[in-house]
């Protein structure tokens, strides 16, 4: 198998490993249960000075009780009758050393203009990654963590992965519990944690109400197992007597010609092979005018080509050392409106990418990082700005596919900027479609094609209860994942 084919086979393996993630870019079904977690403790591990006698990159006192972005700690919380021990350390790959945020505002003429640019400093982002450890092994693991035992994860005692972004570590003297968001897995079941505000912002009308008997907690937690099945959702809608609709077997990705047509996308073409005995001079071979093979693999529309079968489960070809793909992320006016402010939108994006990165690190040994954020004003411009034509209000005349094309054209004109991909966070889904992406466009900074099918290294995700899963799904297509599985 060629290196290119192996990349796409590995991407397929990645998608097969996402059976707990919303496989098609559709909004998740309603929840049947939520809880408000109890946070028992946030225990910062002892800080160690450098051998030179200085604090090195930790320029604060070793005994300073305030959580820093370089700290490792244990987070202990309870929900659903269980207590979880999350052992966390800083995600040093999330923020590029030269990362920046561009903030936009509405000018006097009603158009969007650049307000100011700020550096996105690692010390302003408290994003962490780690593992969930069994209770009986947690103290020993803390001692190992404090001593700097490596590697992590050890692969011996972990119950699952964890990704947490801390908003506030809490204040025991004022009775304030820590505020944080993210996700963690326990024996394959993903648990989602979000603030009450964000839960209410993205709540489906059939999702459970907040529990008023536990209003001291500022957080909401739910598991993937708490999502209604298709049958439960059908019954909850009062449709018991009717037939249960067949779940969709593909996503919006499959309706884009570039993602399914081998004439347009080289990733769908089989690699050249030796001439067969019956056609030694290639007279019968099907090639385009440039001599490029166009015989397609069985990959479009959710089919799985047999040429990938021997590679499923084989991680040969994945990086043996840590790699990072730095991305640009833009938030349109409708997305910022959904989260109430530019600061909240930025915070949500950072949390999303910290969590989504777990799946890529665990599968490919590749982390997702951010090199640039573009955050627009919550007020939408009067008309599309030629400089940022994708930043427009929701309208029936512009679909999610249109936004992808417009965003791709913008990305191509932007040129080389150090971003391997660009991702648009929008507040404008189209019907039940909440995400869309171009296939196998990693590190493609130019654009090609004509409107409404301009292609570049881009994807679009929309606001929702499990945004990070939609983001992970769409970036999977950018990586070359060619199928999505119905859950």
Active site (catalytic) residues: 474
Tell me, what DSSP letter sits at residue 279?
-
Answer yes or no: are the C-beta atoms of 79 and 308 closer than 8 Å: no
Q: How far apart are CA 332 and CA 378, in angstroms?
A: 8
Tell me, what DSSP letter sits at residue 24?
S
By the 10 Å C-beta count (0-12 exposed, 13-18 middle, 19+ buried), 462 is classed as buried
Answer yes or no: are the C-beta atoms of 342 and 118 closer than 8 Å: no
Cis peptide before 123 (omega within 30 of 0): no
Among 462, 336, 370, 423, smallest CA distance to 127 is for: 370
Q: Token pair of 43, please? A: 């225990």
Q: How far apart are CA 64 and CA 51, in angstroms?
A: 19
Q: Token pair of 224, please? A: 């993937």
Q: Token pair of 487, please? A: 């859950």
The pairing of strands 421-426 and 366-375 is unpaired
Answer yes or no: are the C-beta atoms of 448 and 266 closer than 8 Å: no
Answer yes or no: are the C-beta atoms of 330 and 371 closer than 8 Å: no
Answer yes or no: are the C-beta atoms of 418 and 456 closer than 8 Å: no
The pairing of strands 458-462 and 435-437 is antiparallel
Give, in order, the Cα–Cα distances in Å from 78 to each of 313, 348, 366. 34, 24, 31
Tell me, what DSSP letter sits at residue 290?
T
What 3-state class would DSSP assign to 437?
strand
By the 10 Å C-beta count (0-12 exposed, 13-18 middle, 19+ buried), 368 is classed as buried
Among 392, 484, 400, smallest CA distance to 439 is for: 484
Query: Looking at the DSSP assignment, which residues form a beta bridge with residue 385?
Result: 388
Answer yes or no: are the C-beta atoms of 28 and 434 closer than 8 Å: no
The shares of helix, strand and coil residues in the chain, as percent rounded to the nearest 5, are 25, 25, 50
């Amino acid at each position: 198998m060629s290196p290119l084919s192996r990349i796409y086979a590995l991407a397929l393996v990645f998608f097969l490993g996402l059976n707990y993630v919303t496989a098609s870019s559709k909004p998740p079904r309603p929840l049947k249960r939520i809880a408000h977690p109890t946070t028992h403790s946030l225990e910062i591990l002892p800080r160690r000075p450098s051998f030179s006698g200085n604090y090195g990159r930790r320029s604060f006192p070793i005994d300073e009780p305030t959580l820093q972005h370089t700290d490792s700690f244990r987070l202990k919380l309870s929900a659903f009758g269980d207590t979880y021990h999350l052992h966390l350390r800083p995600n040093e790959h999330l923020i590029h050393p030269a990362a920046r945020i561009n903030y936009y505002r509405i000018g006097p003429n009603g158009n969007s203009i650049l307000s100011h640019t700020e550096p996105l400093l690692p010390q302003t982002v408290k994003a962490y990654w780690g593992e969930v450890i069994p209770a009986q092994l947690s103290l020993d693991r803390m001692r190992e963590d404090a001593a700097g035992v490596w590697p992590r994860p050890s692969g011996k005692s972990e119950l699952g992965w964890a990704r947490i972004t801390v908003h506030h570590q809490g204040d025991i003297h004022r009775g304030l519990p820590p505020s944080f968001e993210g996700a963690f897995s326990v024996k394959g079941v993903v648990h989602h944690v979000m603030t009450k505000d964000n839960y209410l912002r993205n709540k489906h009308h059939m999702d459970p109400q907040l529990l008023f008997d536990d209003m001291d907690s500022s957080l909401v937690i739910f598991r993937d197992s708490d999502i209604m099945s298709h049958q439960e959702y059908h019954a909850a809608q009062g449709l018991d007597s009717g037939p249960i609709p067949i779940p969709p077997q593909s996503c919006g990705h499959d309706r884009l010609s570039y993602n399914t047509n081998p004439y347009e996308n080289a990733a769908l073409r089989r690699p050249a092979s030796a001439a067969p005995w019956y056609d030694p001079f290639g007279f019968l071979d099907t090639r385009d005018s440039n001599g490029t093979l166009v015989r397609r693999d069985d990959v479009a529309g959710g089919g799985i080509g047999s040429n990938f079968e021997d590679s499923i489960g084989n991680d040969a070809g994945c990086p043996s050392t840590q790699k990072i793909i730095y991305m640009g992320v833009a938030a349109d006016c409708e997305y910022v409106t959904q989260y109430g402010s530019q600061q909240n939108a930025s915070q949500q994006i950072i949390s999303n990418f910290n969590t989504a990165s777990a799946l890529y690190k665990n599968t490919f040994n590749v982390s997702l990082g951010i090199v640039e954020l573009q955050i627009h004003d919550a007020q939408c411009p009067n008309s599309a700005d030629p400089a940022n034509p994708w930043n427009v209000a929701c309208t029936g005349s512009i679909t999610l596919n249109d936004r992808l094309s417009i965003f791709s054209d913008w990305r191509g004109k932007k040129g080389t900027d150090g971003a391997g991909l660009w991702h648009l966070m929008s507040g404008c889904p189209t019907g039940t479609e909440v995400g869309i992406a171009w296939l196998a466009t990693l590190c493609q900074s130019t654009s090609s094609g004509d409107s409404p099918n301009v292609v570049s290294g881009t994807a679009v995700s929309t606001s929702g209860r499990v945004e990070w899963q939609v983001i992970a799904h769409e970036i999977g297509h950018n990586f070359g994942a060619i199928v999505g599985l119905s859950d």
